Protein backbone atom coordinates (compact mmCIF):
# COMPACT_ATOMS: atom_id res chain seq x y z
CA UNK A 1 0.00 0.00 0.00
CA UNK A 2 1.33 3.43 -0.90
CA UNK A 3 0.51 6.20 1.54
CA UNK A 4 -1.76 4.13 3.74
CA UNK A 5 -1.36 1.15 6.01
CA UNK A 6 -4.07 -0.29 8.22
CA UNK A 7 -4.54 -1.29 11.82
CA UNK A 8 -7.29 -3.51 13.18
CA UNK A 9 -8.99 -2.68 16.46
CA UNK A 10 -11.92 -4.12 18.37
CA UNK A 11 -14.95 -1.92 18.95
CA UNK A 12 -18.41 -2.98 20.05
CA UNK A 13 -18.88 -6.51 18.79
CA UNK A 14 -16.74 -6.37 15.69
CA UNK A 15 -13.27 -5.67 14.40
CA UNK A 16 -12.78 -2.46 12.47
CA UNK A 17 -10.08 -1.33 10.12
CA UNK A 18 -8.81 2.24 9.96
CA UNK A 19 -6.20 3.81 7.71
CA UNK A 20 -3.04 5.38 9.00
CA UNK A 21 -1.31 7.79 6.67
CA UNK A 22 2.20 6.44 6.97
CA UNK A 23 3.72 9.71 5.78
CA UNK A 24 1.87 11.51 8.57
CA UNK A 25 4.11 9.89 11.16
CA UNK A 26 7.03 11.95 9.90
CA UNK A 27 4.96 15.14 10.06
CA UNK A 28 5.55 17.56 12.94
CA UNK A 29 1.83 18.35 13.27
CA UNK A 30 0.96 14.67 13.60
CA UNK A 31 3.25 14.36 16.62
CA UNK A 32 2.10 17.69 18.05
CA UNK A 33 -1.52 16.55 17.87
CA UNK A 34 -0.67 13.21 19.49
CA UNK A 35 1.12 14.93 22.36
CA UNK A 36 -1.74 17.42 22.75
CA UNK A 37 -4.27 14.58 22.82
CA UNK A 38 -2.31 12.76 25.51
CA UNK A 39 -2.36 15.88 27.68
CA UNK A 40 -6.07 16.53 27.09
CA UNK A 41 -7.03 12.88 27.67
CA UNK A 42 -4.94 12.84 30.86
CA UNK A 43 -6.52 16.05 32.18
CA UNK A 44 -10.13 15.52 31.07
CA UNK A 45 -10.46 11.78 30.57
CA UNK A 46 -10.94 10.28 27.13
CA UNK A 47 -14.75 10.30 27.09
CA UNK A 48 -15.02 13.90 28.29
CA UNK A 49 -12.44 15.17 25.80
CA UNK A 50 -13.35 16.66 22.43
CA UNK A 51 -11.61 17.21 19.11
CA UNK A 52 -11.83 20.96 19.75
CA UNK A 53 -9.95 20.56 23.04
CA UNK A 54 -7.20 18.59 21.33
CA UNK A 55 -7.00 21.12 18.49
CA UNK A 56 -6.78 24.00 20.96
CA UNK A 57 -4.00 22.32 22.92
CA UNK A 58 -2.11 21.54 19.70
CA UNK A 59 -2.58 25.06 18.37
CA UNK A 60 -4.28 23.94 15.15
CA UNK A 61 -7.72 24.32 13.62
CA UNK A 62 -10.27 21.60 14.32
CA UNK A 63 -10.26 20.61 10.66
CA UNK A 64 -6.50 20.02 10.73
CA UNK A 65 -7.05 17.09 13.09
CA UNK A 66 -8.94 15.24 10.37
CA UNK A 67 -5.97 15.44 8.00
CA UNK A 68 -4.19 13.01 10.30
CA UNK A 69 -6.91 11.19 12.25
CA UNK A 70 -10.39 9.92 11.41
CA UNK A 71 -11.89 10.95 14.75
CA UNK A 72 -11.21 11.01 18.49
CA UNK A 73 -11.28 7.21 18.68
CA UNK A 74 -8.60 7.03 16.01
CA UNK A 75 -6.37 9.37 18.00
CA UNK A 76 -6.56 7.07 21.04
CA UNK A 77 -5.88 3.99 18.91
CA UNK A 78 -2.79 5.62 17.44
CA UNK A 79 -1.56 6.76 20.85
CA UNK A 80 -1.50 3.11 21.85
CA UNK A 81 -0.43 1.53 18.56
CA UNK A 82 2.37 4.03 18.00
CA UNK A 83 3.33 6.09 21.07
CA UNK A 84 2.80 3.56 23.85
CA UNK A 85 4.28 0.75 21.79
CA UNK A 86 7.47 2.80 21.39
CA UNK A 87 7.75 2.96 25.18
CA UNK A 88 7.34 -0.79 25.56
CA UNK A 89 9.95 -1.44 22.87
CA UNK A 90 12.43 0.50 25.03
CA UNK A 91 11.90 -2.04 27.81
CA UNK A 92 13.41 -4.75 25.60
CA UNK A 93 16.34 -2.51 24.69
CA UNK A 94 17.10 -1.88 28.37
CA UNK A 95 16.83 -5.54 29.34
CA UNK A 96 19.23 -6.55 26.57
CA UNK A 97 21.92 -4.28 28.04
CA UNK A 98 22.32 -6.58 31.07
CA UNK A 99 23.85 -10.04 31.28
CA UNK A 100 22.50 -11.67 34.44
CA UNK A 101 18.83 -12.37 35.09
CA UNK A 102 18.65 -10.20 38.20
CA UNK A 103 20.28 -7.27 36.42
CA UNK A 104 17.85 -7.74 33.53
CA UNK A 105 14.93 -7.68 35.95
CA UNK A 106 16.27 -4.53 37.58
CA UNK A 107 16.71 -2.90 34.15
CA UNK A 108 13.16 -3.83 33.17
CA UNK A 109 11.63 -2.33 36.30
CA UNK A 110 13.91 0.72 36.11
CA UNK A 111 13.02 1.53 32.51
CA UNK A 112 9.30 0.93 33.13
CA UNK A 113 9.19 3.37 36.04
CA UNK A 114 11.53 5.83 34.35
CA UNK A 115 9.46 6.04 31.17
CA UNK A 116 6.19 6.53 33.02
CA UNK A 117 7.73 9.14 35.32
CA UNK A 118 9.22 10.97 32.34
CA UNK A 119 5.81 11.30 30.66
CA UNK A 120 3.22 11.48 33.42
CA UNK A 121 0.38 12.33 31.03
CA UNK A 122 1.12 9.23 28.98
CA UNK A 123 1.18 7.21 32.20
CA UNK A 124 -2.24 8.58 33.20
CA UNK A 125 -3.78 7.75 29.83
CA UNK A 126 -2.22 4.28 29.67
CA UNK A 127 -3.23 3.35 33.21
CA UNK A 128 -6.75 4.75 32.83
CA UNK A 129 -7.57 3.03 29.55
CA UNK A 130 -5.94 -0.22 30.68
CA UNK A 131 -7.93 -0.38 33.90
CA UNK A 132 -11.15 0.68 32.20
CA UNK A 133 -10.52 -2.03 29.58
CA UNK A 134 -11.37 0.32 26.73
CA UNK A 135 -12.30 -1.89 23.78
CA UNK A 136 -10.83 0.58 21.31
CA UNK A 137 -7.33 -0.31 22.47
CA UNK A 138 -7.96 -3.81 23.78
CA UNK A 139 -5.79 -5.41 21.12
CA UNK A 140 -2.87 -3.04 21.67
CA UNK A 141 -3.02 -3.51 25.45
CA UNK A 142 -3.00 -7.30 25.08
CA UNK A 143 -0.06 -7.11 22.69
CA UNK A 144 2.00 -4.93 25.04
CA UNK A 145 1.06 -7.04 28.05
CA UNK A 146 2.19 -10.19 26.22
CA UNK A 147 5.44 -8.48 25.24
CA UNK A 148 6.07 -7.64 28.90
CA UNK A 149 5.13 -11.11 30.12
CA UNK A 150 7.42 -12.73 27.55
CA UNK A 151 10.35 -10.63 28.76
CA UNK A 152 9.66 -11.64 32.37
CA UNK A 153 9.45 -15.31 31.35
CA UNK A 154 12.82 -15.11 29.62
CA UNK A 155 14.37 -13.44 32.67
CA UNK A 156 12.99 -16.04 35.09
CA UNK A 157 14.06 -18.94 32.89
CA UNK A 158 17.57 -17.48 32.64
CA UNK A 159 17.62 -16.96 36.42
CA UNK A 160 16.66 -20.59 36.94
CA UNK A 161 19.50 -21.72 34.66
CA UNK A 162 21.95 -19.44 36.48
CA UNK A 163 20.73 -20.65 39.88
CA UNK A 164 19.77 -17.14 40.99
CA UNK A 165 16.04 -17.94 40.93
CA UNK A 166 14.12 -20.92 42.28
CA UNK A 167 13.30 -23.74 39.88
CA UNK A 168 9.96 -24.52 41.55
CA UNK A 169 8.38 -21.21 40.58
CA UNK A 170 5.06 -21.00 38.78
CA UNK A 171 6.17 -18.70 35.99
CA UNK A 172 2.62 -17.64 35.14
CA UNK A 173 2.18 -16.51 38.76
CA UNK A 174 5.55 -14.72 38.78
CA UNK A 175 4.60 -12.79 35.63
CA UNK A 176 1.34 -11.56 37.14
CA UNK A 177 3.09 -10.76 40.42
CA UNK A 178 5.74 -8.59 38.78
CA UNK A 179 3.47 -6.79 36.33
CA UNK A 180 0.78 -6.28 38.96
CA UNK A 181 3.26 -4.92 41.50
CA UNK A 182 4.83 -2.45 39.08
CA UNK A 183 1.37 -1.40 37.92
CA UNK A 184 0.23 -0.72 41.48
CA UNK A 185 3.38 1.25 42.29
CA UNK A 186 2.71 3.47 39.26
CA UNK A 187 -0.94 3.95 40.23
CA UNK A 188 0.04 4.93 43.78
CA UNK A 189 2.55 7.44 42.41
CA UNK A 190 -0.03 8.93 40.05
CA UNK A 191 -2.56 9.32 42.86
CA UNK A 192 0.09 11.10 44.93
CA UNK A 193 0.38 13.67 42.11
CA UNK A 194 3.98 12.57 41.57
CA UNK A 195 5.15 13.93 44.92
CA UNK A 196 8.10 11.54 45.13
CA UNK A 197 10.65 9.98 42.82
CA UNK A 198 8.99 6.98 41.16
CA UNK A 199 12.35 5.53 40.12
CA UNK A 200 13.33 5.32 43.81
CA UNK A 201 10.97 2.32 44.00
CA UNK A 202 13.14 0.20 41.68
CA UNK A 203 15.44 -1.37 44.29
CA UNK A 204 12.68 -2.03 46.87
CA UNK A 205 10.59 -3.70 44.17
CA UNK A 206 13.40 -5.87 42.83
CA UNK A 207 14.41 -6.80 46.38
CA UNK A 208 10.82 -7.85 47.06
CA UNK A 209 10.69 -9.88 43.85
CA UNK A 210 13.92 -11.71 44.62
CA UNK A 211 13.72 -12.12 48.40
CA UNK A 212 9.97 -12.24 49.00
CA UNK A 213 8.53 -11.37 52.41
CA UNK A 214 9.11 -14.61 54.34
CA UNK A 215 11.78 -15.14 56.99
CA UNK A 216 12.58 -18.52 55.43
CA UNK A 217 13.32 -19.63 51.92
CA UNK A 218 10.11 -21.60 51.45
CA UNK A 219 6.60 -21.65 52.88
CA UNK A 220 6.30 -24.39 55.51
CA UNK A 221 9.96 -24.44 56.51
CA UNK A 222 10.48 -24.63 60.24
Condensed to tens digits (0 to 9), the pLDDT of residues 84-117 reads 888 888 999 999 999 999 999 999 999 999 999 9
Torsion of CA 37, 38, 44, 47, to 10 degrees: 70
SS3 helix, strand, coil % of the chain, rounded to 5?
Answer: 70, 5, 25
What are the phi and psi torsion angles at 99 (to 5°)? Answer: -105, -45
Q: Which CATH number goes with the domain that contains 84?
A: 1.10.357.10
Lowest pLDDT segment from 3-12, 64-73, 99-108, 201-210: 3-12
Q: Answer yes or no: do 187 and 89 share one domain.
A: yes
Task: Give CA–CA dist 132/87, Å, rounded.
Answer: 20
44, 73, 102 — which closes off a domain?
Answer: 73
Structural domain includes residue 59: yes
* Predicted local distance difference test score (pLDDT) of residue 187: 96
Task: Give CA–CA dist 153/178, Å, rounded.
Answer: 11
Of 139, 112, 141, 110, residue with least CA distance to 126: 141
* Predicted local distance difference test score (pLDDT) of residue 217: 52
Q: Answer yes or no: do 68 and 149 share one domain.
A: no
Structural domain includes residue 218: no
**pLDDT tens across 173-189, in order?**
999 999 999 999 999 99
Structural domain includes residue 162: yes
52, 73, 94 — which closes off a domain?
Answer: 73
Q: What is residue 5's three-state secondary structure?
A: strand
Q: Answer yes or no: do 137 and 159 share one domain.
A: yes
Q: Answer yes or no: do 170 and 87 share one domain.
A: yes
Q: Answer yes or no: do 140 and 196 share one domain.
A: yes
Full domain range(s) for residue 53: 4-73
56, 73, 90 — which closes off a domain?
Answer: 73
pTM summary value = 0.82
Structural domain includes residue 217: no
Task: Give CA–CA dist 162/182, Å, rounded.
Answer: 24
Q: Answer yes or no: do 24 and 123 share one domain.
A: no
Q: Answer yes or no: do 67 and 79 share one domain.
A: no
Q: How confident is the model at residue 24 (pLDDT cuts 50, 70, 90)?
A: low
Residue 19 has pLDDT above 50, yes or no: no
Structural domain includes residue 186: yes
Task: Give CA–CA dist 60/55, Å, rounded.
Answer: 5
Amino acid sequence: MNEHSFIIYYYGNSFRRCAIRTKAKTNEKYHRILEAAIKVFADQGFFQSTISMVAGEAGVADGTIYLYFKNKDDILVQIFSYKAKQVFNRFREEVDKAKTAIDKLRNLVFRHLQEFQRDRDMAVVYQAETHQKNRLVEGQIKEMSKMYMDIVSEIVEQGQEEGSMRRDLYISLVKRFILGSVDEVINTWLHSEGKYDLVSMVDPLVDLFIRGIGAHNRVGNS
